[in-house]
Amino acid sequence: MSEERTSVCFTCQRCSQPLALDDSFSNISEHEKAELNLPVHSNAEVDLESQIASFDNYVHPFRLSESGNGVNGFLLVSDEDDDTSLPSHKARVYTQLFDVISGNSNIDHPLCEECADYMMEIMEQEIEMKQTDLKDYEAYLNRLENDKKELKLGDLEKELAELKAQEANFLKELESINVEEIELKEAIAKQKEFAEQLEKNEKKYYKEHAKHSKDLMRIEDDGRSLQNSMNFTTSHLEKLKKTNVFNSTFHIWHKGHFGTINNFCLGRLPLVPVAWSEINAAWGQAALLLSALARKINLNFDRYRVVPFGNHSRIEVIGKQQELPLYGNGGVRYLWDTKFDSAMVAFLDCVQQFQDELAKQGKPFVFPYKIHSSKGKIEDNGICYSIKIQLNSEEQWTKALKFMLTNLKWGLAFVTSQIGTEGEESYK
């Protein structure tokens, strides 16, 4: 049976480049193999693998296995273009040699020449470092030996006693520290309980504070609302104080030839036939105004009593139990009852009594239109106009009523001014 041949290519374990092996590897003697089996480094603590780990392109060593294409743990790599062809027993020798070298050191083989030189540099640097450490250790050892020679037994015993005493002091201090630690832990526990209680009180306080703040805001809003209401009421009161009730209640003016009171016309014209209901209402307002002015100046009319009753007002004759109506009902005027004329004459007499009462009180007041109460007439620029409707024209009757309302307006203005200057109490 012919010898088996295998085409094998070994690669560098650092740079993975293919290697060309020297033929002298196949002629190694058993003695040389035994020397190679000796360990390269006696110091097992030296770790060159950490240096190798820094190599670029580091790969795990190739090993041939007993099965397949491997021999003795090295991988056989075939290359069709490579002309190198080794016998199988040479491959085993090479692989066995590389296994021995790799197993005897921390470096995997084979290596190329450049990688081997780099490894030599690393090992030389390590040797220099070890030599430096060795010198330091020797110097330290010599110093220790010199110190031992200089020290005496007595000094050592004294130092030992001091150390024991110091130890005892430290133990006492440790005991006191332990006691203090226990006290501090108890104090911390109490402080934690106090802090928890404070936190609960704080939450309760903020809750009550929020509630009281809400109540305060509501009360302040109510207070501002009340203040605004009071300011409005006060301003309204001041406005009411400055407002004259008479002027607001009784508005006397004119509309063409008619005198008006609260927009009710008093009088009639042939071309402007005012309804009697409006005339009666105007007489009711005039009676109410004269009665109010009389009460204001504490006037009690002689012979008459004015009774305001809307559009059915009347004048009562004191001592005769007689009532004179201040309202009409239409019809032919010459057929009217004379009581209506008597009531108007009595009303004009009461207006004159109002002026006379002011004069008695020392008030400088005079009506713009002179009244002849006994005749039932009112004078304007020397011309007298009768307030009666019978035997009188409607134009003159209307003028007389207009002059009478003008006198009432002056009386109203005078009383109002006296209230404003002298006060309300002056007429009470």
Query: pLDDT per residue over 324-365, tens digit each?
Result: 999 887 665 544 568 888 999 999 999 999 999 988 888 888
C-alpha span between 261 and 77 (Å, rounded): 139
List, as own/partner pairs, every contact residues 302-307 make where C-beta atoms lie below 8 angstroms and the sequence separation is at least 24, other chains included: 302/353, 303/346, 303/349, 304/346, 304/349, 304/350, 306/347, 306/350
C-alpha span between 335 and 252 (Å, rounded): 31
Is the Cβ–Cβ distance between 339 and 327 less than 8 Å?
no
Spatial neighbors of 300 by CB under 8 A, at least 6 apart, are 294
C-alpha span between 397 and 377 (Å, rounded): 10
63: nearest Cα among 119, 124, 11, 130: 11
pLDDT of amino acid 310 = 87
403: nearest Cα among 235, 262, 263, 286: 286
Q: The domain 250-427: what is its CATH number?
A: 1.10.418.40
pLDDT of amino acid 314 = 92
Q: Which amino acid is at 350?
A: C
* Cα-to-chain-centroid distance, residue 233: 35
pLDDT of amino acid 3 = 44
pLDDT of amino acid 272 = 86
Average pLDDT, the chain: 79
C-alpha span between 293 and 358 (Å, rounded): 11
Q: Where does CATH 1.10.418.40 sit in the chain?
A: 250-427
pLDDT of amino acid 423 = 43
The sign of the dihedral angle between the CA atoms of 73, 74, 77, 82 is: negative
Determine the straight-line distance between the first and last CA of the chain, rounded to whole angstroms.
164
The helix or strand, by DSSP H or E, that contains position 147, with its residue range, turns out to be helix 113-150
pLDDT of amino acid 174 = 93
Token pair in block for residue 371: 């009244």
Q: Give the residue ranges of the chain where pLDDT is below 50.
A: 1-7, 42-46, 48, 51-86, 334-335, 421-428
pLDDT of amino acid 418 = 76
C-alpha span between 309 and 363 (Å, rounded): 30
Tens of pLDDT, residues 186-228: 999 999 999 999 999 999 999 999 999 999 999 999 999 999 9
Query: Does the global pTM surpass 0.75?
Result: no
